[in-house]
Amino acid sequence: MTYRLLFDHALTRTDPERAHHTAFRAIRAARPVTALRPTPGEPVRALGLTFPNLLGLAAGFDKNAVGIDGLAALGFGHVEIGTVTGEGQPGNPKPRLFRLPGDRAVVNRMGFNNDGAEVVAARLAARGRRRAGSGGGPVLGVNIGKTKVVPDDDQVAVEADYGKSTRLLAPHADYLVVNVSSPNTPGLRNLQAVEKLQPLLEHVRRTADQVTAKRVPMLVKIAPDLADDDVLAVADMALAIGLDGIIATNTTISRADLRTPAAEVERVGAGGLSGRPLTERSLDVLRLLRDRVGPDLTLIGVGGITTVADARARLDAGATLLQGYTAFIYEGPLWPRRIVRGVAG
């Protein structure tokens, strides 16, 4: 409640991107204290890995792998860094991050701003490997995406770009995510079409196997805006090529049924919408996937998970693991432990 009051009456008056960096610095600084608290929840076995609990932090918060262990100390069982691109890039012009407090939502058009695969790989190498789930650190996911200047209609260039990130980052990852679903890189979502997605995933799989001694699980992250038939096509492809899992879902470009006044939504402009308005569609996509792929494929549910009831609904729909981001912003640093303990209870 204290954080909610602080957020509603103070933080909402601060530029969202500046507030993010300030909060992240505080999380990193507090790590020596928060790390003394045991990780909540029960271990989950998935992807051939042992996750300390079922809740992870979605990609986008720690794009550059600078605060993995501080974030885990707040109670996340896994942390997914990125999205990392083959080449470093500044992202889209500012302002590019906006809150819609009335909807408990965020709009971002960050544009994969990150230091690039070479820099992030060096940072991960300096951190060293942690044995996930054994007191040594969280499970580490690495989310990779397309460099903006690479044209989406040049399949060879796209595969080379993702291949570079894979070669550099797969050796440091507990699992690898191929992101083709952000709305903020021109043409990226076109790669979700199965005829483009399958060869890309197969290329990333081959590349990862060439640079790792132990097979790194690979997942794909999809958009909630896919038509149901396209969701099912991705599910069928995942089974056909032996993909390890699917993350459902990324942000949406829809602005339907928002409480925020239309003029304010229009002023914010383009970008991916996350948070509460995504709950229903992300849940529907998850159900579609689980019904199609059967009980064994790992499905990570993300998008609009705010309450314990939301988390339980996602598990009931077939999620193996959960992720959050926007609720973490609105609910504060105690949110991960509250969700994990609430689901366990």
Residue 245, class by beta-carbon neighbours within 10 Å (0-12 exposed, 13-18 middle, 19+ buried)? buried
Q: Cα–Cα distance between 90 and 92 in angstroms, integer?
A: 7
The answer on whether 212 is annotated among ligand-binding residues is no
The answer on whether 259 is annotated among ligand-binding residues is no
The answer on whether 251 is annotated among ligand-binding residues is yes
Do the Cβ atoms of 174 and 140 come closer than 8 Å? yes
Q: Cα–Cα distance between 204 and 143 in angstroms, integer?
A: 12
The answer on whether 304 is annotated among ligand-binding residues is yes
Q: Which of 296, 300, 274, 275 is nearest to 286 (CA)?
A: 300
The answer on whether 108 is annotated among ligand-binding residues is yes
The answer on whether 110 is annotated among ligand-binding residues is yes
The answer on whether 179 is annotated among ligand-binding residues is yes
The answer on whether 114 is annotated among ligand-binding residues is no
The answer on whether 136 is annotated among ligand-binding residues is no
* Segment 94-100 long-range contacts (CB within 8 Å, at least 24 positions apart): 94/17, 95/15, 95/16, 95/17, 96/17, 96/271, 97/16, 97/17, 97/20, 98/16, 98/268, 98/271, 99/12, 99/16, 99/329, 100/258, 100/260, 100/264, 100/265, 100/268, 100/273, 100/275
The answer on whether 332 is annotated among ligand-binding residues is no
Q: Which of 216, 138, 116 is nearest to 172 (CA)?
A: 216
The answer on whether 63 is annotated among ligand-binding residues is yes
Residue 296, class by beta-carbon neighbours within 10 Å (0-12 exposed, 13-18 middle, 19+ buried)? exposed
Do the Cβ atoms of 225 and 256 come closer than 8 Å? no
The answer on whether 342 is annotated among ligand-binding residues is no
The answer on whether 7 is annotated among ligand-binding residues is no
Do the Cβ atoms of 65 and 149 come closer than 8 Å? no
The answer on whether 112 is annotated among ligand-binding residues is yes
Q: Catalytic residue positions? A: 182
The answer on whether 86 is annotated among ligand-binding residues is no
Instruction: Give binding residues for substrate as ranges.
Output: 63, 108-112, 179, 184, 250-251
Binding residues: 59-63, 83, 108-112, 143, 179, 184, 221, 249-251, 275, 304, 325-326
Residue numbers in the known binding site for FMN are: 59-63, 83, 143, 179, 221, 249, 275, 304, 325-326
